[in-house]
Amino acid sequence: MNEQTALIVKKISDLPPLSASTLAIINMLSADHFHMKELVNLIQQDVSLSTLCLKTVNSAAFGLSKPVDTIQRAVTFLGSQKLTELALKTSVGKIVKVRLAGYGAMEMDLWEHSLKSAIAARLIGPNIDPNLNADLAYALALTHDIGKVVFSALLEVKVRELQKAQGQQTNFLAIESDLFQCNHAEVGAMLAREWNLPQVFIDVIAHHHTPSLCPAPHRSLALVVHLADLLAMLSGTGTGVDSLYYELDPLALDLIERDARWHEEEIWKLILNLNYEFNLVLQNEAMAS
Partner 1 sequence: MNISTPLDLSVQKPQLVGMGDFQISRNTPLKSVSLGGCVSLIFVAPPIAGMANVVLPDSSLDRQKSTIIPGFFADSAVAKLHEGMLALAPEPQTWCIALVGGGQLAHPRFRLGEKIANAIIQQLKLFGLQPHKQDLGGNESKIAVVSPSSGEITVERPGGLLQIL
- Applying CB under 5 A, the residues found at the interface with Fe ion are 145, 229
End-to-end CA distance of the chain: 44
At its nearest, how many Å lie between Fe ion and the CB of residue 9? 21
Closer by beta carbon to partner 1, 86 or else 105: 105
Q: How far apart are CA 123 and CA 109, in angstroms?
A: 21
Three-state DSSP class for 133? coil
Tell me if 7 contacts partner 1 by CB under 8 A: no
| Contact between 28 and 133 (Cβ < 8 Å) | no
Query: Does the protein bind partner 1 through residue 233 (CB under 8 A)?
Result: yes
Half-sphere exposure of 6 (CA within 13 A, CB side): 3
**Three state DSSP letters for 249-262:** CHHHHHHHHHCHHH
Kindly report the CA angle at 177 between 172 and 178, in degrees rounded to 5? 95
Binding partner 1 by CB under 8 A: which of 64, 244, 280, 287?
A: 244
Closer CB to Fe ion, residue 39 or residue 148? 148
Binding-site string for partner 1 from residue 189 to residue 228, where x marks contact by CB under 8 A and - marks none: ----------------------------------------
Considering only 30, 56, 57, 109, the residue that binds partner 1 (CB under 8 A) is 109
Kindly state the smallest distance separating residue 285's Cβ from partner 1, in Å. 14
Please name which of 126, 179, 170 lies closest in space to residue 151, comparing C-alpha atoms.
Answer: 179
Residue of 114, 143, 220, 235 interacting with partner 1 (CB under 8 A): 235
Spatial neighbors of 254 by CB under 8 A, at least 6 apart, are none
Residue 268 interacting entry, from Fe ion, partner 1, none, C-beta within 5 to 8 Å by type: partner 1
**Min. distance of Cβ 145 from Fe ion in angstroms?**
4
Residue 98 CB, shortest distance to Fe ion, in Å, is: 15
108 binds, among Fe ion, partner 1, none (CB under 5 to 8 A by kind): none
Using the rule CB under 8 A, is 284 a contact of partner 1?
Answer: no
283 is an interface residue for partner 1 by CB under 8 A: no
Helix crossing, 219-234 with 250-258: angle to 10°? Answer: 80
* Selected binder of partner 1 within 157, 248, 281, 288 (CB under 8 A): 248
Query: Is 20 among the residues that bind partner 1 (CB under 8 A)?
Result: no
Instruction: Report angle CA 172, 179, 169 to the nearest 5 degrees.
Output: 40
Locate the DSSP E strands across 182-234.
Answer: none
Nearer to partner 1, 162 or 190 (CB): 162
C-alpha span between 253 and 221 (Å, rounded): 16
Among residues 145 and 249, whose Cβ is nearest to Fe ion? 145
CB under 8 Å to 170, separation ≥6 — which residues? 245, 247
The answer to whether residue 247 forms part of the interface with partner 1 (CB under 8 A) is yes
CA 239, CA 108: separation in Å to the nearest integer?
9
Binding region for partner 1 (CB under 8 A): 103-105, 109, 159, 163, 166, 170-171, 230, 233-238, 240-241, 243-248, 253, 256, 265, 267-269, 271-272, 275-276, 279
